[in-house]
Chains A and B, each alone.
Chain A
Amino acid sequence: GAGVSQSPSNKVTEKGKDVELRCDPISGHTALYWYRQSLGQGLEFLIYFQGNSAPDKSGLPSDRFSAERTGGSVSTLTIQRTQQEDSAVYLCASSLDRSTPTDTQYFGPGTRLTVL
């Protein structure tokens, strides 16, 4: 079956521009996660969705970052007024049911964001 897909795979933008990153989770997965992978900070959690609501936004680094999920499926991560420190690989993951100990998160290939 299809895995988690993300688009674009690469995005180069100028400082100060807004960007949107898209994630298509595995069909039927109710939980969706965004992480960021950068050289200095490793793998960091950003936000978690259960259905269309986001009960945990604790990892969003600033109010320039926002995310939404519609129809319990596709999610968009938006970064406004991008800064050079936003350069990273943004990873999306989805899982079937976060309430069970064996729940497994499956990751997409990521979007590599470069802010010039």
Chain B
Amino acid sequence: GNSVTQMEGPVTLSEEAFLTINCTYTATGYPSLFWYVQYPGEGLQLLLKATKADDKGSNKGFEATYRKETTSFHLEKGSVQVSDSAVYFCALRKAAGNKLTFGGGTRVLVKP
């Protein structure tokens, strides 16, 4: 079946540090890939997405590239801020499917 594996947290960083959260997936065909973010006390929000190989999703300084050859969709940000402290979820959706399959989430804490 489909699955998503992402690095366990928590990840603790200083402000302006570089952030990488690894995400790999197992799926047949060509799924769409997503990163969702959950800020403290808030609901899940879509951060970025990519729907085919080599696509790069980007938003709010975050980027992730759909790598078919390594079945990965790693999230990166060059300079994090305290406001980026949140839980980040990698997810996939089958090409003709409906449900999202989520990774376990990675908690990120950015300290001033």
Please report A residues at the B interface, Cβ cutoff 8 Å. 31, 33, 35, 42-43, 45, 48, 50, 55-56, 59, 91, 93, 98-99, 101-110
Contacts and interface: CB of A to CB of B under 8 A. Distances in A.
Interface residues of B, number: 25
Contacts, number: 54
A56 B43 contact: no
A43 B91 CA distance: 10
Contacts of B104: 42
A45 B42 CA distance: 19
A30 to B, nearest CB: 11
B102 interface: yes
A109 B38 CA distance: 10
A65 B98 CA distance: 20
